[in-house]
């Protein structure tokens, strides 16, 4: 991964965190790493624990950033969330998965933020 | 929270009570259905989820688990959508928890929350007649339930409507009255368009009157198909009990509609000769009735009998013998009723003209032999009436059109009387002379001295098996019934003998 791309991702996640706080979410943790991957943001929306996946892109040429969450990613996020709940000794809390898509075409231009609540639905 | 909603599964043509248990707990969001759901039941997840949201309710957060009890019976169909949705709404506190004697619910959900009609509702209704419990069902199935007396039916059109009723308390349902008298059938003459063919007509009348299996043998264009089709219409209409019995089979087959919620007409089924065994006997992962069951209490007409696969014809032996057909599949073993009158049609040889007075037959003897051999002996052995049909002589049809010997009104009346005599003889179960078991033959088929002697002579001369002798006696019974005669006389036996294979396929 090039420096520029990691940079963009980090900037996007920071932007998403600020956006969520403005929406009244409380940020619990960021960049929670496990062996099989990373949860971008864990936030609290009232009583509900929210796992947030942030996707930042330079252009929409390859589709909306939200479209990159496919079934494989879904399964992975679900597994990561379960690991998180175990590791933090959280049990019996209501959870939700949100996806935030950011399109940031140039550093000078204002980024476009799309927030989808409960983006993954229920695991079948 | 845990909620339980009562529902029903359809197994074969019977209903099985199913308890839909829904548990909503906190945790990572998941939605599981257990209790051996088939593909159509598993897909309920997506329909239920959308229907709940689009009806203005919330789909609960967290872990949703649905169990369909008894969990060891495989389930198929879409009728659990509504009870699952209602259970989820109750378990998530959006509706009061159902009481113990809460309604039995069935229905498929559309994504927009409307309730769609499902198949097999008539079987569920038949199991619930006289029960004090309510049956909540799709509005589209309302008319079907009307066939069964004493069902407390609550038709609903949307999930929203069902939820409102559950919130306000279920209404006092209207109780169904049961099937009424069938609409007056047009009693036009079934033989109106069939010229001549008096022997064939007579034999088919015997077949219909007593439920005897018949085989029409004749050249192409002789009118075999027309004769069979019209003969089926000679039978008296289905009784009220039979309407429910036959309609249940059609309900499971998904052949009933809102406009035609049950069947008054006696069935006439004519599967093509390419029919497969599952289509004929019934099949599918969740067994559905086949043609033999769809012809229950009616006529199964097999045109070009010689063209059917031998295996297919041989598969008919169980239903012909037992009056039922047993289908064993993944989703269990089902017994479907299959009491039909078999009418077959056959050319005498591959070219069709063997024995024709005018056109020569162009088949070699070996070909004729091979053609005949396709019909297995065991099937021919179950045919009571062999009927030779001749092509009407050229011009005769047009010149002598409409001429007939006995007024059809009398013939239809004779058939009705013969059926009535059989009802008095065998009770309401609806058995026909063709179905008299061999150990009761001597109770019901009493021959006079003259008839006895004739039958004995024929049996010796033709070398008839005991089974064949019984067939002749059953047919003679029906011929006597057509004349209103309690005793079977020599002339009845003589006519019955004239329809034997030996006198026709010589």
Residue B76, chain A, CB below 8 Å: the answer is: no
Q: Residues of B with CB below 8 A from A122's CB? A: 29-31, 45, 49, 59, 64
Q: Helices then strands (H, E): number in chain B?
A: 22, 19
Is A120's CB within 8 Å of B27's CB?
Answer: no
Give the closest-approach CA distance of A95 to chain B in angstroms. 5
Q: Residues of B with CB below 8 A from A95's CB? A: 27-29, 61-62
Q: Residues of B with CB below 8 A from A124's CB? A: 30-32, 45
Residue B30, chain A, CB below 8 Å: the answer is: yes
Rg (CA), chain B: 28
Chain A interface with B: residues with Cβ < 8 Å: 48, 78, 81-82, 85, 91-97, 118, 120-124
Residues of chain B with CATH 3.30.230.10: 2-177
Which two structure tokens, joined as six digits, stand for B304? 């070009």
Q: Is residue B194 helix, strand or coil?
A: coil
Q: How far apart are CA B112 and CA B59, in angstroms?
A: 14
Please give the CATH superfamily to which domain B198-393 belongs. P-loop containing nucleotide triphosphate hydrolases (3.40.50.300)
In this complex, how many residue pairs, one in chain A and one in chain B, have their CB atoms less than 8 Å apart? 43
Is B29's CB within 8 Å of A123's CB?
Answer: yes
3-state secondary structure labels for all residues of A91-111: CCCEEEEEEEEEECCCCCCCC
Q: Is residue B70 helix, strand or coil?
A: coil
3-state DSSP percent of chain A in helix, strand and coil, to 5: 35, 35, 30
Q: Can you give the pLDDT at residue B138?
A: 96
Q: Residues of B with CB below 8 A from A120's CB? A: 29
Q: Residues of B with CB below 8 A from A121's CB? A: 29, 49
Instruction: Give me the half-sphere count of Cα atoms (radius 13 Å) on the Cβ side of residue B306.
Output: 18
Q: Residues of B with CB below 8 A from A82's CB? A: 28
Q: Look at the domain A3-116 and name its fold.
A: Trna Endonuclease; Chain: A, domain 1 (3.40.1350)
Q: Phi first, then psi: what are they for A18, rounded to 5°?
A: -60, -40
* Angle made by CA atoms B456, B461, B464, in degrees to the nearest 5: 70
Comparing alpha-carbon positions, the chain A residue that sits nearest to B32 is A124
Count of Cβ atoms closer than 10 Å to residue B199 Cβ:
14
pLDDT of chain B along its 506 residues, tens only? 899 999 999 988 899 999 999 999 988 889 999 999 988 999 999 999 999 999 999 999 889 999 999 999 889 889 999 999 999 999 999 999 998 889 999 999 999 999 999 999 999 999 988 888 999 999 999 988 888 888 999 999 999 999 999 999 898 777 787 777 666 666 677 787 777 788 899 999 999 999 999 999 988 888 899 999 999 888 888 888 888 899 999 999 988 888 888 888 899 999 999 999 999 999 887 788 999 999 999 999 999 888 888 889 889 988 998 899 999 887 678 899 999 999 999 888 888 888 777 788 888 888 888 887 777 677 788 889 999 888 776 555 555 555 455 566 678 888 989 999 999 998 877 789 999 988 889 899 999 999 999 999 999 998 888 888 999 999 999 999 999 988 899 999 999 999 987 665 54
Chain position carrying tokens 């035609």: B260
Is A92's CB within 8 Å of B45's CB?
Answer: no
Q: Which of A94, A118, A120 would best serve as a mutation to test chain B binding (most B beta carbons within 10 A)?
A: A94
> Domain limits of chain A?
3-116
pLDDT in tens, A74-117: 889 999 999 999 999 888 888 999 999 888 887 778 888 989 88
Q: Which of A87, A94, A122 would best serve as a mutation to test chain B binding (most B beta carbons within 10 A)?
A: A122
Q: Specify whether domain B2-177 bears CATH 3.40.50.2300.
A: no
Chain position carrying tokens 């009244």: A24
Which ipTM was obtained for this model? Answer: 0.79
């Amino acid at each position: 991964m090039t420096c520029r791309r990691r940079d963009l991702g980090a900037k996007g996640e920071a932007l998403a965190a600020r956006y969520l706080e403005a929406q009244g979410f409380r940020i619990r943790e960021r960049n929670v790493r496990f062996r099989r991957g990373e949860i971008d943001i864990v936030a609290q929306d009232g009583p509900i624990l929210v796992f947030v996946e942030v996707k930042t892109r330079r252009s929409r040429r390859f589709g909306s950033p939200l479209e990159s969450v496919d079934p494989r990613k879904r399964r992975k996020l679900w597994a990561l969330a379960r690991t998180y709940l175990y590791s933090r000794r959280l049990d019996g809390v209501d959870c939700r998965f949100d996806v935030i898509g950011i399109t940031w075409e140039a550093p000078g231009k204002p980024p476009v933020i799309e927030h989808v609540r409960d983006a993954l639905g229920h695991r079948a | 929270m845990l909620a339980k909603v009562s529902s029903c599964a359809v197994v074969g043509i019977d209903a099985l009570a199913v308890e839909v248990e829904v548990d909503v707990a906190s945790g990572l969001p998941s939605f599981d259905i257990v209790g051996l759901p088939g593909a159509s039941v598993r897909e309920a997840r997506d329909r239920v989820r959308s229907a709940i949201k689009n009806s203005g309710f919330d789909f609960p957060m967290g872990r949703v688990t649905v169990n369909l009890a008894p969990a060891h019976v495989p389930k198929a169909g879409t009728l659990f959508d509504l009870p699952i949705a209602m259970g989820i709404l109750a378990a998530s506190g959006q509706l009061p928890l159902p009481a113990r004697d809460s309604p039995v619910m069935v229905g498929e959900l559309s994504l927009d929350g409307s309730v769609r009609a499902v198949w097999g509702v008539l079987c569920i209704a038949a199991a619930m007649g006289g029960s004090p419990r309510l049956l909540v069902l799709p509005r589209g199935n309302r008319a079907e339930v009307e066939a069964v007396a004493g069902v407390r039916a609550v038709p609903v059109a949307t999930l929203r409507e069902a939820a409102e009723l559950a919130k306000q308390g279920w209404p006092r349902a209207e109780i169904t009255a049961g099937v009424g008298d069938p609409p007056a059938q047009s009693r036009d003459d079934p033989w109106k368009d069939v010229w001549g063919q008096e022997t064939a007509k007579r034999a088919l009348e015997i077949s219909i009157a007593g439920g005897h299996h018949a085989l029409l043998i004749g050249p192409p264009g002789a009118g075999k198909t027309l004769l069979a089709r019209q003969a089926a219409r000679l039978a008296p209409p289905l009784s009220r009990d039979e309407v429910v019995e036959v309609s249940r089979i059609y309900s499971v087959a998904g052949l009933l509609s809102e406009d035609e919620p049950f069947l008054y007409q006696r069935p006439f089924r004519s599967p093509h000769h390419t029919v497969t065994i599952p289509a004929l006997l019934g099949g599918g992962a969740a067994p559905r009735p086949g043609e033999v069951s769809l012809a229950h209490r009616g006529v199964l007409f097999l045109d070009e009998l010689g063209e059917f696969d031998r295996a297919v014809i041989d598969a008919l032996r169980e239903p012909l013998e037992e009056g039922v057909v047993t289908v064993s599949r993944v989703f269990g073993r089902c017994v479907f009723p299959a009491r039909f009158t078999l009418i077959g049609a056959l050319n005498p040889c591959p070219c069709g003209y063997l024995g024709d007075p005018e056109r020569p037959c162009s088949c070699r003897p070996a070909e004729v032999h091979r053609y005949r051999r396709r019909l297995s002996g065991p099937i021919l052995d179950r045919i009571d009436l062999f009927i030779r049909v001749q092509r009407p002589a050229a011009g005769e049809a047009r010149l002598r059109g409409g001429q007939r010997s006995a007024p059809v009104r009398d013939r239809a009346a004779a058939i009705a009387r013969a059926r009535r005599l059989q009802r008095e003889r065998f009770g309401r179960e609806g058995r026909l002379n063709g179905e008299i078991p061999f150990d009761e033959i001597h109770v019901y088929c009493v021959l006079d001295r003259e008839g006895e002697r004739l039958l004995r002579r024929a049996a010796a001369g033709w070398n008839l098996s005991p089974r064949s002798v019984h067939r002749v006696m059953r047919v003679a019974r029906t011929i006597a019934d057509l004349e209103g005669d309690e005793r079977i006389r020599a002339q009845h036996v003589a006519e019955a003998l004239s329809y034997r294979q030996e006198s026709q396929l010589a």
